[in-house]
Each structure stands twice: as C-alpha cells, then as structure tokens.
Structure 1
Amino acid sequence: MKRQIMINSNMRDSMGCEETKKSQKLQPVILCGGFGKRLWPLSSQRRPKQFLPLFNGLSTFQMPIQRVQNAKKFKPPLCITHISLYKSLYAHIKHSDLTVSPCVLKEIKSKNTTSAILSAALYTQNKDMKKTPLLVMPSDHIIYGINEFERSLNHAHQILAENPKAIISLGITPSSAHTGYGYIEQGEAYIATSFKEKPDKKTAQNYLKKNNYLWNTGIFLCYADTLLKEAEKLCPDVVPSLKIDIQSNLIDNSKTRNIAFDIAIMEKTDKKHVVKANFSWSDIGGWPQLITQLSKNIVLKHVNSKRQNPC
C-alpha cells in the first residue's frame, strides 16, 4: 500500500531550537510549477518561462538552483512542479552545471502557491527535518548580486534563530507604485506590521509616500512547523486536502483550494517579519519586466566588464 502524508497531532510536535544558526543547513524549496501564461507565445505549457535560457544562457529556474549549491549551507533543493512539467524539469537539471541535484515533488493539479508550499512543509516534516529552516524561492525571478543575497539571507537566518516562530520575508525598496507585487509594511525589530498582495494603484502610491513599505520578493525563511500551525488557523481546509505519496513524490491536491500563499497566510499571520535586502531584484511576470531585464543585460554586457551577472 502506498503511504500518504496527512497532518495529525503526532506529526505536529513543536520543533526544537537546540541547533545553533552555525550548525543549521537550510532546506531550499523552489516553486517551479507555473506555466507563464503572461509571456505567451514565448512561454507555453510545454516550455514555461522558468525553463527558457534567456539570461546569459541561463533560465530563471537555474538561477535559484545555483544560489544554493553550497553543501555546507544548504541541503539538496526541493523543487515543486506540475506533473506535466516533470520530464522537462529533469532534462533541464541534467543539462545544468550542478554539484547537488534537487529532489522533485509533482503536483497533480496546478493549485497556486499555498498548495505547493504547504506540501513542501509536510514533506520535510515526514523526512524528519523539523529543525531545518525552509528557504522558499520562486523560479521566475531575477537577482543581481550574490554577495548581497547571501548577506540578506544570513541576516534573516540570524533573526530566525532568535525568533523561531517567525516567517521572515526578504523585502526590496520599491521603485514604483507597481500593482503586480505584494507590499510589506516595516515595523520595529523586523516585525512586519502589514502585508498587502497586489494593491490597487492608489493604495500602492500611498505606500510609496510612506517610505516604510517594501516589495515582497517571494523569498522567505521559516520552519515547516510554523507554516503548518498557521495554516491550521488561517486556512484550515488546505492541509487536510493534501495527500503525498512519499514513494513516488506525487502530491494529490485535486481537492485543494486554489489560493495564493500571500493571501492565505502572509496577509493574515501575526508571525510575519521582514528583512530589507539590498540586491537588485525583478519578478519576470510578463513582457514589460522581461524586456526591461533583457535590455539591462545587453547594456551591462557591452558597457561594464565587471558586471554583476544574474544569479
């Protein structure tokens, strides 16, 4: 009989805090199940945007994988994708210059980020990694400045060591009143006092005037136990609907509600914290963002021999 993971009281013991920050490795969780419909016809269901080698021969999927290749700091990445993209993803991994190969979980249905992230939380708990922080990253974003990224991540890791029940987002200073991003309000002691996913134009403009809002990069650090406890309070129907076959790494989320993690959890939780990051970041959500980044790459390639490559 196939084994299925379902949340229960025995699985949901509190994680210990005996490990120090120095001894902890992070568990990267890379979300790569989207189909990139806003970049059609360049992006398609057979070859979505995260697998297109558009940036110096790299795809945006390869970039987060490469960021977490240091085996002293990171466990092998855990990738969450749609079952129809499984072969394409593995072919992409095979042709990547990786020292550590990822593990792949396959979703039966494309049900947004709450399904994917909570599936990762359940999976890692079943693998006896309750004391391992999860580092969740999208696979369709661009980051310039690996050193700045690592400094921001180390800072977030230190805060998590001091506040093990926190969900810590990396935020970026906004450059415009963009309505396609989430906004995080900075409070004291790294506490995020509010989170608003994709506000309207007027609201976004007001956020910019206040100077204490950051764009949400979609990168965050926390423990799986914290995610599952918050899900139990804030979206109690989601976790019981997820069934994971640990022999085939297949996620049956056919009965799971389709809802974004930022809406289901981040807008409502009182555990949210934020670290202001200084790296250059862009979400390749559609054609305008892609054109901007490709243009930037061309300019950097021709006028700056010491350019920062995307990572």
Structure 2
Amino acid sequence: MTANIQPVILCGGGGTRLWPRSRRAKPKPFLPLLGERTLFQQAIDRVADPALFTAPIVVAGEVHVPLVREQGGKALSIIAEPTGRNTAPAIALAAHRAPEGSVLLICPSDHHIADEAAFRSAAEAAAGLAQQGYLVSFGIEAISPHTGYGYLRRGEELPGGYALEAFVEKPDLETAETFLADGRYSWNGGIFAFGRERFLEELATHRPEMARLCAEAVAGGEGDGQVFRPAEAPFAQIDGDSVDYAVMENTAKAAMVPVSMGWSDIGNWDALREARGGESTGEHELRDCTNVMVDSDGPRVSVVGMEDVIVVVDGDDILVTNARGAQGVGKLEGVSRP
C-alpha cells in the first residue's frame, strides 16, 4: 500500500450555476448539497485514511479561508491564493509546499463520489503509475453521451492503467455518442496524480514563466502556522491556465486510470437533481408531476402538472428552470449579488 500520497484539495470556482443556493460568499464546496456534510468536508473524508494519505493541503482564495478553517479543522495545511489563476498555478503552490518525494493527488473540493472504496483503489493505482514517472488522470466511466465534459482516450495498457492517448474537448452530441460506442473514452473529471518533483519539472518545461513566478511567490510568502500566504506581487503576474492545458496535454508521459465510482461534478441543478435521485428538500407538495425537484430553505413550494422542472428557493431569490436551462443559470444577473 502506498502511504505517501499527498492530497491537494482545490477550492476554486464560484459554483455560479448552482445559484441561488451557491453564492460568492459561500460557494458550492461549502454547502451540504448531498447529505449533512458539505462537498468540501466529503472531499476531506475521502482522504482521511492515514495508512494511505497524509494530511491534505487545501488551496483556497483568501476570502474562503475562514470557511476552510471552520469546516476542515486544524489538521489541514492551507494555502491562501491572493488571486485566482486557475488550477496549474494552484497546484504549483501546493507542490512547493508538499514534502519531497510525495505523490500529489489533486482533488476538486466540489465533486460528489458515491463509491469511496473505488476512489481509494484508483488513487493507489494512480500513485503507483506516478511513482514510475507518469502524470495520471482519473478516467471517469462515461455512462452517457455527455456534452459538458472533456474526454480522455486510452491507449496501450500499463500496470494499473493505460497510456493516455488523447485529450478531447467537449464534443457535440453526435460525437459524444460515438465516443460512448467506441469504449475507449472516459470523462475527464479533473482528478490527477503525479510525483511532486516530476510535476514541477514538467511545469518548468512547458510553462517556464508560470513556474518561475510560482516559485517566487512561495519563496516570498509568509505563514502563520496553519495558513501560508504566497507573495502577492509575483503571483498576480501569472498568466493563469488549467493544469490540463499547461501540463497534461503537453507531457510525453500522460497516463490514465479508469474508474467507476458514482462521480458527478454537480455542475448545475440538473446534475444535482440526478445525484439526489430526484429527491426534493424543504416544504413542498408535488401533484401530477414528472421529474420535478424542489429545493427550498423556507417557503412551501407547490407544483401541479409539470414535467422536468427544478424550483429553488433561497431567501428572497427564486429560481425556476428545466434541464435544458440549468447550464445557463450562471449567466443570470442575480448571480453577481452577494
């Protein structure tokens, strides 16, 4: 069993497509959307086995540090980003702060994973490949021709996984259907594993300016025990990019571990409805309805004779959408309000 896996939990993004429940001051990761524990707390719970994982490093924006402390406890090591620069710089900060020789396991803080045993098995397999010098993506089992996810195409078999033959951008429906029928394609869920030193080497090769500025930000940073704050000036100069574009699509040693673990990125209200099995919350009454979900924090909601509708009540804000409209919620004017 690999015991030096260093979880890195990323708390970026505003979860705007889950407005009005998700707000700038308290976005999606810090909400109990599935069960009593928040998505962030569930992410911590998944890497709590000390036989396999070390204590997590959490990378979050300065404004959300109090929430991380409140929900995560004192065992966490927190890096407070002075400004958001996407996932590649965030991971670089964590790599500089991680122990030498560790395998970094990059975990978004706002995903749902139903089968935690499958997650841990995949983490072990990915760590094994990472120790051989591979940069590893989790290949989430594609159970539908989803057009909202990027895809991974697997190549030759490796011990515990496969060579990653290609990253594929979000497809149209017809293309996604061919991917599903092909059988070699998985969803790209944004979960990665790689050796600390190997990642920093690859970043320096493919994004040298980003690598230099991240190193400067860490070298000039300050900590108060639990929270480390990188130097703001060099970090603000970084031209942000995702780890997919900055490193994973450029490395010659990309690999993937296929996994079926009941995964969802809870990317919008339709995805949350699916993860909940259509179950409503709060005071509600549904009559002659099909595929209708209510999520209310107070007022009683009654729906009669409707199909494929989601109703959300949060304080004075009310959202009504269907599955097709759920992806566009983040573009509403109300989302910009606190």
TM-score normalised by L of structure 2? 0.74
Separation in 1, partners of 2:174, 2:251: 24
SS in 1 for 2:22: coil
SS in 2 for 1:105: strand
Give the CA deviation at 1:63.
1.0
Equivalent residue number for residue 139 of structure 2: 171
Give the CA deviation at 1:155.
2.1
Equivalent residue number for residue 88 of structure 1: 67
1:120 aligns with 2:94: yes
1:197 and 1:263 in contact (8 A); partners too = no
Separation in 2, partners of 1:106, 1:203: 40
1:196 and 1:267 in contact (8 A); partners too = no
1:197 and 1:267 in contact (8 A); partners too = no
1:1-311 equivalences in 2 (<5 Å): 22=1, 24-94=3-73, 101-124=75-98, 129-161=99-131, 163=132, 165-189=133-157, 190-242=162-214, 243-244=217-218, 245-248=221-224, 249-251=228-230, 252=232, 253-295=235-277
Equivalent residue number for residue 285 of structure 2: none
SS in 2 for 1:117: helix
Residues 223-249 of structure 1, C-alpha deviations (whole Å, 9 max, x = no match): 111111111222222111220214251
Give the CA deviation at 1:208.
2.4
Give the CA deviation at 1:296.
5.5
Q: CA RMSD in A?
A: 1.9
SS in 2 for 1:237: helix
TM-score normalised by L of structure 1? 0.80
Structure 1, 140-149 or 258-267: larger mean CA deviation = 258-267
Relative contact order (C-alpha < 8 Å, sep 6+): which is higher?
Answer: 1
Separation in 1, partners of 2:251, 2:147: 22
CA distance 1:70–1:246, shift in 2 (3 Å): farther
Q: Tell me the amino acid that sits aligned with residue 148 of structure 2.
A: G
Separation in 2, partners of 1:270, 1:182: 19
1:152 and 1:278 in contact (8 A); partners too = no
Give the CA deviation at 1:202.
4.6
Separation in 2, partners of 1:203, 1:119: 37
CA distance 1:49–1:80, shift in 2 (3 Å): same
Give the CA deviation at 1:276.
0.9
Equivalent residue number for residue 296 of structure 2: none
How many residues are treated as equivalent by the alignment?
A: 266
Q: Tell me the amino acid that sits aligned with residue 205 of structure 1.
A: E
Q: Percent identity?
A: 33
1:27 and 1:75 in contact (8 A); partners too = yes
Residues 34-55 of structure 1, C-alpha deviations (whole Å, 9 max, x = no match): 2112212211111000000121
Give the CA deviation at 1:201.
4.1
2:2 and 2:128 in contact (8 A); partners too = no
Separation in 1, partners of 2:222, 2:166: 36
Q: Tell me the amino acid that sits aligned with residue 31 of structure 2.
A: L
Give the CA deviation at 1:146.
1.7
Separation in 2, partners of 1:148, 1:269: 27
1:114 and 1:264 in contact (8 A); partners too = yes
1:60 and 1:142 in contact (8 A); partners too = yes
Larger radius of gyration: 2
Residues 227-279 of structure 1, C-alpha deviations (whole Å, 9 max, x = no match): 11111222222111220214251133211112221122222222210111121
**Alignment gaps of 5+ in structure 2:** 281-338
1:179 and 1:198 in contact (8 A); partners too = yes
Separation in 2, partners of 1:150, 1:297: 28
Separation in 2, partners of 1:221, 1:142: 18
